[in-house]
Amino acid sequence: MLENLTAQPADKILQLMQMFREDPRSDKIDLGVGVYKNAEGQTPVMRAVKAAERQLWEVETTKSYTGLAGDPGFHAAMADLVLGKTADAGQIAAAATPGGTGAIRQGLELIRMAAPDATIWLSAPTWPNHPSIIKYLGMNMVEYRYFDAETRAVDFNGMLTDLSNVKPGDVVLLHGCCHNPTGANMNAAQWQEIAALLLAKQAVPFVDIAYQGFGDGLEADAYGVRRLAKTLPEMLIAASCSKNFGVYRERTGLLMTVTQDVGKTALNQGTLAFLNRQNYSFPPDHGARLVTMVLTDDALRADWLSELEDVRLGMLKLRQQLSDALRKRTGSDRFGFLADHRGMFSRLGASEAQVQAMRESHGIYMVSDSRMNIAGLNEASIPILADAIVSAGV
């Protein structure tokens, strides 16, 4: 049997990490992998998470199973973080999942159960795991324009034109904030237009929100998802805690359905629990419990908010410094988009050959589509990157 297996395509980013590790240059710069790093290049455990972990160790009396859908306290705390007061608890069904990826996978499985022939609309480009999982599940997908390669902003007209072809019951996957891989995001007015369009088209939004708090702030980053929840009769949300709580390896995520018809919530909740049961039974709990403690304890929450805000402002500062360094070198504002982008990533707009040239000449590692992890920079590496960008002729 096993001789029938064929090799699966390697993950580009993991391959890049391997190349980076093998590069002997001491001044190499890793802008590849999508993990937050501080100025020292570390991905620290956040202070509030560490404190919650210490408390949990003291008070935890059992590691027996939680519910199939995870802990309702986690659902409530996360629903409040993502949706604020936009939706009542009675409208929301939720299941804890292994990371945001687990939430996306379970959400797609839910869609497949409810509407096997629905088409999933994906932004071009999007996080490669989206099409990969959809293809694996044998579902239909099509792309909508999202990124303008010239301005490096959202191609909003293209997006509206493409989404005008959505059929009733189709699913439109949107990044809640901090678009991966481009860094280009919709403003509030554009979110309003998209919400109105999806309502008119009777489409179902599926929002992947993996970087809340990394862009314009926790509340501002939730604007789009909340607008959709207010406008549409039903939607799905996949939330990841990996980045904004720094609990990557704990695998902490939540899938939510939100419906205006509260009579549907119990069925949705039962289906989410059923799906967890089929795939892995009980979801991981440790990360979810830490997140719940941080969100519901005033002191822990305040400390988390302050550290998260430092992370966000630090990335904005790096964006501004890189944009300024490039203005100085080129005498133009061509790279102003770097300061306008939000979140951990920016798509630079370099060709694959230019990306390779920067790797070979300056030891700079970015994904071949020229996605850069801004958090991989620091004050010392910004001038090196700016020089490399100019000498590669980007």
- 210 assigned to active site: yes
Spot the catalytic one: 243, 304, 350, 392.
243
Task: Please give the size of the binding site for ligand PMP, defined by CB under 6 A.
Answer: 13
284 near ligand PMP (CB under 6 A): no
User: How far apart (Å, rounded) are the C-alpha atoms in residues 394 and 224?
Assistant: 32
Among 66, 91, 123, 180, binds ligand PMP (CB under 6 A): 180
Closest CB to ligand PMP among residues 100, 363? 100
Contact call for residues 67 and 48 (beta carbons, < 8 A): no
Closest CB to ligand PMP among residues 175, 312? 175
Burial of 57: CB neighbours in 10 Å, binned 0-12, 13-18, 19+: exposed
User: Which residue has the CB atom at the shortest distance from ligand PMP?
Assistant: 99
Nearest to 153 by CA among 344, 352, 342: 342
Question: Closest approach of Cβ 100 to ligand PMP, in Å?
Answer: 3
User: How far apart (Å, rounded) are the C-alpha atoms in residues 345 and 374?
Assistant: 6
Question: Closest approach of Cβ 235 to ligand PMP, in Å?
Answer: 16
In terms of phi and psi (left: phi > 0; alpha: psi -120 to 50; beta: otherwise), the region of 99 is left
127 near ligand PMP (CB under 6 A): yes
125 near ligand PMP (CB under 6 A): no
Q: What is the DSSP track for 296-324?
A: HSHHHHHHHHHHHHHHHHHHHHHHHHHHH
- 127 assigned to active site: yes
Closest CB to ligand PMP among residues 212, 268? 212
Spot the catalytic one: 79, 94, 127, 195.
127
Beta bridge partners of 94: 256
Question: Closest approach of Cβ 354 to ligand PMP, in Å?
Answer: 24
373 near ligand PMP (CB under 6 A): no
User: How far apart (Å, rounded) are the C-alpha atoms in residues 91 and 171?
Assistant: 19
- 328 assigned to active site: no
Q: Which two tokens stand for residue 337?
A: 């988009």
99 near ligand PMP (CB under 6 A): yes
Q: Which two tokens stand for residue 256?
A: 């939510």
Cα of first residue to Cα of last residue in the chain, in angstroms, is 49
354 near ligand PMP (CB under 6 A): no
Closest CB to ligand PMP among residues 330, 368? 368
Among 101, 106, 269, 346, binds ligand PMP (CB under 6 A): 101
* Interacting span for ligand PMP (CB under 6 A) from 63-71, 98-106, 304-312, 313-321: 98-106
Spot the catalytic one: 208, 221, 285, 303.
208
Among 34, 205, 215, 283, binds ligand PMP (CB under 6 A): 34
Question: Closest approach of Cβ 178 to ligand PMP, in Å?
Answer: 8
Among 109, 155, 162, 208, binds ligand PMP (CB under 6 A): 208
* Interacting span for ligand PMP (CB under 6 A) from 99-107, 131-139, 154-162, 322-330: 99-107
User: How far apart (Å, rounded) are the C-alpha atoms in residues 267 and 91?
Assistant: 11
User: How far apart (Å, rounded) are the C-alpha atoms in residues 335 and 322?
Assistant: 9
Binding mask 223-262 for ligand PMP (x = CB under 6 A): -----------------x-x-----x----x---------
Q: Look-up: residue for tokens 């293209």?
A: 158
Closest CB to ligand PMP among residues 286, 327? 286
DSSP-assigned letter for residue 281? S
- 50 assigned to active site: no
Helices (DSSP H) in the chain: which residue ranges? 12-22, 47-59, 72-83, 99-114, 129-136, 156-163, 188-201, 218-221, 223-231, 265-279, 286-296, 298-330, 337-340, 352-362, 381-391
User: How far apart (Å, rounded) are the C-alpha atoms in residues 256 and 252?
Assistant: 14
Which residues lie near ligand PMP (CB under 6 A)?
34, 99-101, 127, 175, 180, 208, 210, 240, 242, 248, 253
| Residues designated as active site | 127, 208, 210, 243
